[in-house]
Structure 1
Amino acid sequence: MSVQPQPWPQPDPQIAAAVRAMYRGKREAPLAVQVRDRPGELFPDAAFADAFGRAGKPGWSPGRLALVTVLQKAANLTDRQAANEVRENLAWKYALGLRLEDPGFDHSVLSEFRARVVTHGLEEQALDLLLERLRELGLVDAGGSQRTDSTHIVAAVRDLNRLELAGESVRAALNALAAACPNWVDQALVVEDWSRRYADRIDTWRLPTSKAKQDALALHYAKDGYTLLHAVYAHGSPAWLRELPAVQSLRIVLVQNYTRTTAGNGHIRVKRRERTEDGGDGLPPGPIRLASPYDTDTRWSAKRETFWNGYKLHISETCHPQADGDRPARPNIITNVATTASTLPDTKALEPIHQSLQRRRLLPSRHYLDSGYPSADLIVSSTKTYGVALITPVLLDTSHQAKAGQGFAAHDFTIDWDNQQAICPTGRTSSTWNPVVQEGVPKTVVAFAALDCIPCPHKEQCTSSRKGRRLSLYPRELTEAIHTAHEQQQDGTWQRDYALRAGIEGTIRQATHTTGLRRARYRSLAKTHLDHTTSATALNLIRLHAWWNGRPLDRANHSHLARLQLSLAA
């Protein structure tokens, strides 16, 4: 398929006349019509040309396919439904510049388009182009305020326990081998025996309930898996079979869930891995443990009461404080979406978010975050490197005094950095000052003498240790930044200002309800990220559509009972 970049054709006069007639007067034109009329050609073909060849059969315009994909997400349509809209919907034909009799394209073209975009690393191209156009229109710019929060994304695969994962990995490898090289499968394996055990999905039949039977079945899956790998890696087998993704996934699942030892008589013993207190022969940590043979990027994770298999999505948007009833000078625009592994802590995601915003020239001056994002180092480095002030609760003192809000917390002590000593609230001076490295972070451990702490009348408010009180301090610059932030948070003005962060929860609700991105549509991190950036682009257009027409973005849909409760409360 080849593409020769061309400017989009103007809307067909016949379609334009029909659209103008249908939406004459105060009737609000559809999103597709206003997108074409106001920002114009958002996605030029040249921006996607690298994903297509220069010779061969001409293909559909990639820029217009990008717009179809965005409109598809705005309406939460399947590929087949979106292709039907291109053929039948006058508003879509108007936006795409199609003739009335244009037959459109087969729905499979959208899948091929997404695959090419992912292969060439253009997942963020549509969002980048829209944000750049909004920069030109003065609707978004660097500086100001932005807010960020994360939510969980459920992967487009079935949830499997360890036993099901082992059996399904063998089944996936068998199916991949049978599809890639059926003659080899027929020669190397007894197809009837393998088909009897692995014809159907492992999770469709009832697994044994007793642990002994489950262990026996797990070892049976392991035996079949190792037998299959031994056949694949045999001298006479085609070498390329080893590179099949399903075969590689089977290898990883077996290594992560089983151990093999060789006895003195040469007998090989296979055993399930079990986590032990000392970590020996235990399961691998969550960030590298496979959860599905069909999507090797998805991971199991937990956050408070939520336990899911999938990814994590971080959404950043501009935010503008405004009085009730006032029309905002600018709409809130989503400036970045980051799709990460579900096991990645929020603190590790903040630096890449700032890098993406810097690349788009949309770094904020004030960044509103919840307490899961900042660390002592990030509070300082964000200001130094990017000029971004993190507006976030400081919860870095993990002592029981700080958590309980009673007694003497670390910030109650006076630190004399020049003389390398600390002074407690009762006036006692520390006895030792030792630079250390804790979990890879340089810190200073300050200790008070037991002779000062034990007879102190305030000991119960300070420490339960039989020895003296100890403090673990970050480097001076970080400690002073934390202390300053803590003092600011005691002010009611800061609390009212921080309330601006809460609006990101509504954005996440809008994203999950409008575009259906709570459950991933595609497998792999790259394809899921493309879906998220397309959804963010669609949400921005929906917000612009509401802002252009001077109406609220979302109206509360209360039930009759809720309305009665509100009226009684009033």
Structure 2
Amino acid sequence: MSVQPQPWPQPDPQIAAAIRAMYQGKREAPLAVQVRDRLGELFPDAAFADAFGRAGKPGWSPGRLALVTVLQKAANLTDRQAADEVRENLAWKYALGLSLEDPGFDHSVLSEFRSRVVTHELEERALDLLLERLRELGLVDAGGGQRTDSTHIVAAVRDLNRLELAGESVRAALNALAAACPDWVEQVLVVEDWSRRYADRIDTWRLPTSKTKQDALALDYAKDGYTLLQAVYAHGSPAWLRELPAVQSLRIVLVQNYTRTTAGNGHIRVKRRERAEDGGDGLPPGPIRLASPYDTDARWSAKQDMFWNGYKLHVSETCHPQADGDRPARPNIITNVATTASTLPDSKALEAIHQALQRRRLLPARHYLDSGYPSAELIVGSAKTYGIALITPVLLDTSRQAKAQEGFAADDFTIDWDNQQAVCPAGKTSATWTPNIQNGVPKTVVTFAALDCIPCPFKEQCTSSRKNRRQLSLYPRELTEAIRDARNRQQTGTWQRDYALRAGVEGTIRQATHTTGLRRARYRGLPKTHLDHTTSATALNLIRLHSWWNGHPLDRVSHSHLARLQLSIAA
């Protein structure tokens, strides 16, 4: 398929006349019509031309396919429904510049378009183009405030326990081999025997209830898996079979869940891995442990009382303080979405978010975050590197004294960095000042003399150490002062009123999950899932612009009739 970038055709005169007749007066034109009228050719073909060849059969305009994909997410449609809208909906024909007789395209074109976009790493192109257009219109810019929060995304695969994962991995490899090279499978394996166990999904039949039988079945799956891999890696087997993704997934699942040793008599012993505190032959850590043979990017993760298999989504948007009832000068616009592994801590995602905002020239001056994002290094580093002030509650002192709010916490000590000493609240000066490395982080250990601490009348309020002396572990000066300053500021009413602006991002996440169905991934793999998220963010921005253009408040929270009655009574 080839693409020769061309300007979008102007709306067909017949369709434009029909649109004007239908939406004249006070009736508001649909989203698709207003997007074309106000934003013009939003996604030019040239921006997606790299994903298509220069020779061959001409394909559908990639820029217009990008708009179809965004409108599809705004209406939460399937590919088949979106293709029907292109053929039947006058508003969509108007936005795409199609004639009344245009037959549109087959729905499979959308799937192929997404695959090409992912293959050529253009997942963020549509969002980038929209944000650049809004920058030109003055609707979004660098500086000001932005807020970010994360939410869980459930992968588009079934949840499998360890036993089901082992069996399903063997089944997936068998099916992949049978599809890729059926003659080889027929020659090497007794198809009837393997089909008896692996023809149907493992989770469709009842597994044994006793642990003894489950362990025996797990070992059977492992032996079958090793037998299959041995056949694939045999000298006479085609080498390319080893590169099949399902075969590689099976190999990883076996390594992560089983050990195989050879005894002195040559007998091979297979054993299930179990959790081991000493790390010997134990299960691998969560970030690298496969959860499904069909989506090797999905991971099991837990957050408080939530446990899910999938990904994590970080949403960033602009935010503007406003008085009640006032129409905002600019709408809140989603400026970035980041899709990460579910096991990645929020603090590890913040640097990539700032880099993406810098690339779009949309870095905020104030970034509102919850307590899962900040660290002393990020607070200082964000200000130095990007000029961003992180407005976020930092974790309070976790020492015994601070938790009990009795006695002397670390913040009660005066640190004299120049003279490398600390002074306790009782006026005693530290005895030692020892820089070292703790868990890869440079710190300074400050110790007071036992001769000063033992007779001190405040000893019970200060330390319960068996060495009868107080000890402090300090970050470098810049980080320590930043943390202390942040802790002091977040106790003030002014800071708390300012920080209340962050709560609005939770409504944005709710709008994203309910309007575009983001809670459950539609596709498998991190790249395609991220494309779905950036397309959804682009669609949500258009929905917000449509509301703002027409002077409507963006109600991101839906209420039941009972809840509305309660709100009216309270008012």
> In 2, distance between residues paired with 1:555 and 1:182?
52
Equivalent in the alignment of 1:112: 112
What is the DSSP-based 3-state SS (H/G/I as helix, E as strand, rest coil) of the residue aligned with 1:38? helix
Q: Could you state the TM-score of these two structures normalised by the residue count of structure 1?
A: 0.98
Q: Sort the Cα spacing of 1:560 and 1:121 in 2 relative to 1 into closer, same or farther, 3 A.
A: closer
CA displacement 1:85-125 (0-9 Å, x = unmatched): 11111100000001111111111000000000000000000
Q: Sort the Cα spacing of 1:443 and 1:556 in 2 relative to 1 into closer, same or farther, 3 A.
A: closer
- Which segment drifts farther, 177-186 or 199-208? 199-208
> In 2, distance between residues paired with 1:516 and 1:14?
35
Equivalent in the alignment of 1:139: 139
> In 1, distance between residues paired with 2:114 and 2:557?
35
> In 2, distance between residues paired with 1:63 and 1:555?
29
Equivalent in the alignment of 1:492: 493
Structure 1 unmatched runs, 5+: none
Equivalent in the alignment of 1:395: 395
What is the DSSP-based 3-state SS (H/G/I as helix, E as strand, rest coil) of the residue aligned with 2:214? helix
> In 2, distance between residues paired with 1:214 and 1:418?
64
The list of structure 1 runs, each at least 4 consecutive aligned residues, that deviate by more than 4 angstroms after superposition, is none
Pairing of 1:386-425 with structure 2 (within 5 A): 386-395=386-395, 397-425=397-425
Pairing of 1:69-88 with structure 2 (within 5 A): 69-88=69-88
What is the DSSP-based 3-state SS (H/G/I as helix, E as strand, rest coil) of the residue aligned with 2:206? coil
> In 2, distance between residues paired with 1:104 and 1:111?
15
Pairing of 1:332-351 with structure 2 (within 5 A): 332-351=332-351
**Which letter does structure 2 place at the counterpart of 1:441?**
V
1:315–1:336: 8 Å Cα contact kept in structure 2?
yes
1:375–1:396: 8 Å Cα contact kept in structure 2?
no
Equivalent in the alignment of 2:521: 520
Q: Sort the Cα spacing of 1:391 and 1:200 in 2 relative to 1 into closer, same or farther, 3 A.
A: same
What is the DSSP-based 3-state SS (H/G/I as helix, E as strand, rest coil) of the residue aligned with 1:444? strand
Residue 313 in 1 paired to residue 313 in 2? yes
CA displacement 1:331-364 (0-9 Å, x = unmatched): 0000000000000011110000000000000000
> In 2, distance between residues paired with 1:196 and 1:355?
52
**Which letter does structure 2 place at the counterpart of 1:64?**
R
Equivalent in the alignment of 1:202: 202
1:423–1:430: 8 Å Cα contact kept in structure 2?
yes
> In 2, distance between residues paired with 1:545 and 1:265?
75
Residue 471 in 1 paired to residue 468 in 2? no
What is the DSSP-based 3-state SS (H/G/I as helix, E as strand, rest coil) of the residue aligned with 2:401? helix
Structure 2 unmatched runs, 5+: none
Equivalent in the alignment of 1:510: 511
> In 2, distance between residues paired with 1:441 and 1:3?
52
1:376–1:396: 8 Å Cα contact kept in structure 2?
no
CA displacement 1:518-570 (0-9 Å, x = unmatched): 10000000000000000000000000000000011117543343344334434
Equivalent in the alignment of 1:545: 546
Pairing of 1:531-542 with structure 2 (within 5 A): 531-542=532-543
Q: Sort the Cα spacing of 1:404 and 1:341 in 2 relative to 1 into closer, same or farther, 3 A.
A: farther
2:148–2:505: 8 Å Cα contact kept in structure 1?
yes
Q: Sort the Cα spacing of 1:537 and 1:556 in 2 relative to 1 into closer, same or farther, 3 A.
A: closer
Pairing of 1:179-194 with structure 2 (within 5 A): 179-194=179-194
Residue 268 in 1 paired to residue 268 in 2? yes
Equivalent in the alignment of 1:366: 366
- Residue 400 of structure 1 and its aligned partner are, at CA, apart by 3.2
Q: Sort the Cα spacing of 1:385 and 1:204 in 2 relative to 1 into closer, same or farther, 3 A.
A: same
- Residue 234 of structure 1 and its aligned partner are, at CA, apart by 0.4
> In 1, distance between residues paired with 2:502 and 2:195?
55
Q: Sort the Cα spacing of 1:34 and 1:399 in 2 relative to 1 into closer, same or farther, 3 A.
A: same
> In 1, distance between residues paired with 2:405 and 2:8?
63
Pairing of 1:285-304 with structure 2 (within 5 A): 285-304=285-304
**Which letter does structure 1 place at the counterpart of 2:411?**
H
- Which segment drifts farther, 427-436 or 8-17? 427-436
CA displacement 1:201-243 (0-9 Å, x = unmatched): 0011111111111110000000000000000000100000000
> In 1, distance between residues paired with 2:36 and 2:112?
25
Q: Could you state the TM-score of these two structures normalised by the residue count of structure 2?
A: 0.98
> In 2, distance between residues paired with 1:156 and 1:146?
31
2:507–2:556: 8 Å Cα contact kept in structure 1?
no
- Residue 366 of structure 1 and its aligned partner are, at CA, apart by 0.6
- Residue 292 of structure 1 and its aligned partner are, at CA, apart by 0.4
> In 1, distance between residues paired with 2:84 and 2:499?
46
Identity of aligned residues (%): 90
CA displacement 1:359-399 (0-9 Å, x = unmatched): 00000011111111111111111111111111111216332
Count of residues in Structure 1 that have an aligned counterpart in Structure 2? 570
- Residue 279 of structure 1 and its aligned partner are, at CA, apart by 1.2
What is the DSSP-based 3-state SS (H/G/I as helix, E as strand, rest coil) of the residue aligned with 2:104? coil
Equivalent in the alignment of 2:27: 27
Equivalent in the alignment of 2:237: 237
Equivalent in the alignment of 1:253: 253
**Which letter does structure 1 place at the counterpart of 2:32?**
A
Residue 54 in 1 paired to residue 54 in 2? yes
Equivalent in the alignment of 1:220: 220
2:507–2:557: 8 Å Cα contact kept in structure 1?
no
**Which letter does structure 2 place at the counterpart of 1:38?**
R
> In 2, distance between residues paired with 1:505 and 1:429?
48
